[in-house]
Structure 1
Amino acid sequence: MKTRSPRTRRPSRPLRAVGWTAAVAASLLCLASVPSSAAVDGDWLPAGLGITSGISGLAVAGATGTGDLLAVHDNKHAGQRRLSRIQVAGNEAQVWEVRWDGERLPVDLEALSDVPGRPGEFVALESSGRAYHLRWASGAARVLREFTVPDVAPGDNYEGFALTSSGGRLVAVWAHRGQDEDPGVLATARLDWATLAFGPRVSTPVTVPYPGQDVRHVSDVDVTSSGQVVTTAASDPGDDGPFDSAVYDLGRVTIPAGGEPVLELRAQPLRLGTFAGHKVEGVVCAPGAPSTALGSDDENLGAAVRRDDLCPSVIAP
């Protein structure tokens, strides 16, 4: 959640032929499609222009794993996008707006997770801790239910939420981001999907060694199918950067038979990758594979996505 001035939508401009495919210019649905010649540094691909396009959370949308994604945006005003679909093929990313279908327009969405065992269903989380159970189909996401994570306290600012399952039980993992000397807080609890009631909450503070300044210790969280907890951390000195980020393996969440979830964290976070020039606020691991997708919210510089093989298998803390 930003503390600076509210975002405003800039006047739209026609798409130029340079850097944009002709198919995109002719499409009313596709918001961005950038060929490899316009790719940003390294393997990052542009996924939107300007401050309202930033990616604040990611989830796998389809059978192609990290090549087919849903993204949330932390916009706050009417007329601004809340959800997008992103398809990555080779050196090109295509982005389509997904319509938000609900009575309440969310403010500052910061995380997105699929619901294990329920294809097409997702949970999007606001920085306030309010969550939305969504069903996505035909270019729209319909809000089915709303709930709030437990024990929200004044000053909490949530930037991560993930659902995982073990032994037929659903477990939620979520995180307050922290800022500099204020640690992030990683929390977990069982979640009864029928009633949306949480079990006893377990939490622990999180600090990372990198980035070193203007750091948000947890800017997103995902849990692999083996229970490894993967997080991102990012520096945010202002709307023009310079930004910096890292991806971490914090440890794992385990669910003892008949017991409550347990966070088994490393003595020190294990850094899996470092990404200068981008404020990474979205990370998702493909089920059963190391394939990883990252999304950035680079403020005035727009959004970018990247695919890697960072997600770990089971590694003891």
Structure 2
Amino acid sequence: MERRSPSRIRLAGLGAAAALALTAGTGTAQAADGDWYHVGDGMTSGISGIATDGTHHGHDGTLHGVVVRDNKKPGENRIARITARPGEKPRLTPLSWKGPLPTDLEAIDRVPGAPGQYVALASAGTGYRIQVAHRSARVLDTFELPGKAGGDGNPDTPDNTDKPDNYESFALARPAASSPAGEDGALIAVWADRGDDGRPSTLRAASFSLPDDEAPARTGGSRTDHAHPAGDGVTFGEVHTARVRAPYPAGDPRSASDLKITGSGELLVGSATDPGDDGPFDSGVYSAGHVALDGAHTGRIEAAEHPEVLERFPGHKVEALTCLPGSDKAVVGTDDENAGSSVKTVTGLCAR
């Protein structure tokens, strides 16, 4: 497998002060690095997104988090807790969903500074801010992503079609206190349509604000004239976009099956082929560049001119990715359709 060189994690063009720092926390879900754990059978057990719960168990290697599933019918599970300890098979515990029932959840990330809160995203661009407690996930509010469009997400580009965006990724992070936008607790959101049929993915970044009376900190800072109210008080700032084509797998992969932001602000993106419910699948993770908030709370993407393949996962369709804080490790999860789901830990994938 390809490994990253130390020089590749530098923040090009944005300045070190603008690098992002995540505040999530967890441990590892492996018995030995590189082992896959099969955790579910059949179509409805797939893992389409994963996030840590913000508690740090790195001292004993324990992972606590949540996963979402892209199920569509009533009665099918949408979200589950995941618990894993070294040397043991991970345990998934289904949670009940309380609130508007989503269809096709594809991504999830933790809200930094808000224990038990997450944002889950459905493929059509509807977001759900949820509170996970005990055996349930309760919807606090819903919103729509700004800038949804047909084709590649940009109606002004020549290759745009009427095919709507299909989103499989969403990430939240808080800039470091030393960055221009880090002192007031601003959040940045990054999301992408998956791309398909030879069409690249469009990455989007923007500041992300919660309702003032519910925000974990003074999120979002001063709002600009470019703010986009998204519903129920959730607000996005000016949206910055960049296009990216996955360097792996070969052919016409979905160029963004999930994404997460590392502690240095690096943007890790999953990609996958999906020829049908029985595969064969192939997927990978690559570095798509860096993201940051500037002093005016505008999200910026410094896209890599030549995205670098970091890991390859033959035989699996990786649709879920999360970084372990204070570590270079990541946890990936799969939606292998009829073959169910698996998880593994990968060392060296996430920057410290």
- TM-score norm. by structure 2 comes to 0.75
**Distance across 2 between alignment mates of 1:276 and 1:56:** 17
Match of 1:185 in 2: 202
Aligned equivalent of 2:56, options 57, 63, 74: 63
**Distance across 2 between alignment mates of 1:124 and 1:296:** 17
Aligned equivalent of 1:53, options 32, 45, 50: 45
Amino acid at match of 2:56: A
Match of 1:175 in 2: 192
- Structure 1 residue runs of 4 or more that deviate by more than 4 Å after TM superposition: none
Structure 1 residue 143 corresponds to structure 2 residue 139: yes
Match of 1:94 in 2: 91
Match of 2:337 in 1: 299
Amino acid at match of 2:174: S
- Deviation of the 1:86 alpha carbon: 1.4
**Distance across 1 between alignment mates of 2:191 and 2:326:** 21
Match of 2:290 in 1: 252
**Distance across 2 between alignment mates of 1:302 and 1:213:** 24
Match of 2:122 in 1: 126
- Deviation of the 1:88 alpha carbon: 1.7
Instruction: Please give the secondary structure, in 2, of the residue aligned with 1:278.
Output: coil
Q: Compared with structure 1, are the counterparts of its residues 111 and 132 closer, same or farther at alpha carbon in structure 2 (3 Å cutoff)? A: same
Aligned equivalent of 2:247, options 209, 219, 238: 209
Structure 1 residue 165 corresponds to structure 2 residue 157: no
The answer (yes or no) to whether the contact 1:214–1:236 under 8 Å persists in 2 is no
- Deviation of the 1:208 alpha carbon: 1.2
**Distance across 1 between alignment mates of 2:332 and 2:250:** 20
Gaps of 5+ in 1: 1-34
CA deviations on 1:289-309 (whole Å, 9 max, x unpaired) are 212000000000000001112
- Deviation of the 1:312 alpha carbon: 3.3
Question: Which structure dedicates a bigger proportion of its chain to strand?
Answer: 1
Amino acid at match of 1:172: A
Amino acid at match of 1:59: A
Gaps of 5+ in 2: 1-29, 151-163, 176-181, 212-232
Q: Compared with structure 1, are the counterparts of its residues 259 and 121 closer, same or farther at alpha carbon in structure 2 (3 Å cutoff)? A: closer
The answer (yes or no) to whether the contact 1:249–1:312 under 8 Å persists in 2 is no
- Deviation of the 1:84 alpha carbon: 1.0
**Distance across 1 between alignment mates of 2:267 and 2:80:** 25
The answer (yes or no) to whether the contact 2:34–2:344 under 8 Å persists in 1 is no
Amino acid at match of 1:64: H
**Distance across 2 between alignment mates of 1:240 and 1:163:** 33
Match of 1:286 in 2: 324
Match of 1:111 in 2: 107
- Deviation of the 1:256 alpha carbon: 2.1
Percent of aligned positions that are identical: 43
The answer (yes or no) to whether the contact 1:159–1:176 under 8 Å persists in 2 is yes
Structure 1 residue 80 corresponds to structure 2 residue 76: yes
**Distance across 2 between alignment mates of 1:117 and 1:221:** 20
**Distance across 1 between alignment mates of 2:290 and 2:326:** 15
**Distance across 2 between alignment mates of 1:85 and 1:111:** 14
Match of 1:156 in 2: 165
Question: In terms of mean alpha carbon deviation, does 294-303 or 150-159 score higher?
Answer: 150-159
**Distance across 2 between alignment mates of 1:176 and 1:188:** 12
**Distance across 2 between alignment mates of 1:165 and 1:90:** 29
- TM-score norm. by structure 1 comes to 0.83
- Deviation of the 1:214 alpha carbon: 4.4
* Residues paired across the two proteins, number: 276
| Mapping 1:219-234, distance limit 5 Å | 219-234=257-272
